[in-house]
Structure 1
Amino acid sequence: MTAPDLSALRPQLPSPLHPLDDERCTRRGVTLLLKRDDLIHPALPGNKWRKLALNLRAAHGRPLVTFGGAYSNHLRAVAAAGRLLGFPTTGIVRGHELAGRPLNPSLAQCAADGMRLVFIDRSTYRQKHQPATLARILAEAGAADAYAVPEGGSNSLAVQGCTDLGRELHGQAEVVAVACGTGGTLAGLAAGLAPGQEALGIPVVGGGFLAAEIRRLQTEAFGAPTPNWRLDDRFHAGGYARTTPELDAFAEDFEDRHGLPVERLYVAKLLHALLTLTEQGTFPPGTRLAAVITGRPGPESDDDTPSR
């Protein structure tokens, strides 16, 4: 089997980089730039494209199996890739109780794109990182010979794919910030940046596990962690898929100011963090601050974060 021709999907690369005129930044002497990775591809936007591209080539057209929650953008992206490139896909969905119920809009789109959905209990799902459990899950799903991509798409190939994001920003910003769910995008972004640039991760989930996960991913992908990234975990609003009245008001105000729809679970937390930090004087005057917009609002909540 040959690797699929990803150029046939016509991704918009490099993704656009747009300055944003926001008085909260300009009065502090900070230039805010939006790296519009959400515009890379309509069906595989943002970090979904960057994480999947090398994995799709490595699969060489084999059936592909992956994992996600009931509202997973990652599952939708894999299903869309399968439809567009012509290979079978299987989605292992967290929540055995969902079997037999009407599909929500996210899973219905996966099914419409040809993805076979397999629902497993949450306890087994949490153990899928264990080789024996993973092998049993795949065997029972009839996907033992498929190419497996982990939940959220974060593996060493995904991290390597995200280095292009850093390279596209050489000379464009002193600080590049991204919202973090599984850590793969930040791990690759940091490795792709030029000397003197810093990657700032804004976790959207609590628990404090991301730093170790990012170091692990970078070690697997590059042999060692890079020193040019940091996390600020004060802006997850209580945990994954959680929000606060302050965050909701911020997102609505940002949309009104700039006419840009804001995805709530990742992008809103990122932008809220950056504007808050800017007003606190965290970034020196003259700083160019790039915010990576990894996705667009969808019909329902995303659910790509690891189950922990």
Structure 2
Amino acid sequence: MAAHSRVIVPRMKLGSQGLEVSAQGLGCMSMSAFYGVPKPEPDMIKVIHHAINSGVTFLDTSDIYGPHTNEILLGKALKDGMREKVQLATKFGVRFVDGQREICGDPTYVRAACEASLKRLDIDSIDLYYQHRVDTRLPIEVTVGELKKLVEEGKIKYIGLSEASASTIRRAHAVHPITAVQLEWSLWSRDVEAEIIPTCRELGIGIVAYSPLGRGFFSSGPKIVESFSEGDSRRDLPRFKPENLEHNTVVFNRVNDMATRKGCTPSQLALAWVHHQGNDVCPIPGTTKIENLNQNIGALAVKLTPEEMAELESIASSDAVKGERYSSEVGMWHTSETPPLSTWKST
């Protein structure tokens, strides 16, 4: 296994609109939100700086992480000349109203959310601005129309969608070119391969894979559940529930056996599988530890033959994993539709 110090992180074109990013990104969510207690800010700034200095320059956040605290953290980390070295992605569209999660794509809200993110990040322009979840109450064209104005004004450079259906992606792309679609893609989340990945490829849209390590499952295996603290949202995910975990452990053990034969870690093997999906795919594994970041970079040195790819895909076939990606309250956004534009009456 090549040492991390010898692994050069290549650059890649994300989408066909001109955005260039590091071929592996850094998901920053777990530093501030959803995976238990927020980590100490100085430590996380060190992790971010280590990523940038190692060539991982594509950073991913959202206004809902915290809420807001993750963007503030990144704003602090990108002082002193760091901003020029990175490609910064953030998201809008999920908010808490009276303690309830709400999805909003209203133009007035889109603009206000963008202005607020620019302020928290303390930057002039967002490199890639995603709609975090699609608002199924109004046509996607309405939301993207406002994003297009923000591009024209220089407040954002490129537009992305997260967890969108194939038809939504097409409709959005017809209003303004979509640069990237962010989706969950890993050895245990392969439902996007049927329709969404081919749609992105047909339209020249880059693919950003979040949770490429199965939310840590391919790093630690079943014992990861022992480390979930009280506030860790993964405690509620069906795949980590006892009735599914025992079954899913079989998948991990087989990946782990193959990694041992390859001389790498199971997480590096799982991440290498995502990297081998094509030069239009950028995985963004998240971590709060420098040693894990180094290990993730090491995955770029793991080369897989077509036979090894086929072996991994047979181990983690689409029906091999038990449990849905999210609990039923959260919903499956990548199958959702928005109303036709003809139904829209602007207020």
Name the TM-score class by shorter chain: 0.3 to 0.5
TM-score by length of 2: 0.31
TM-score by length of 1: 0.33
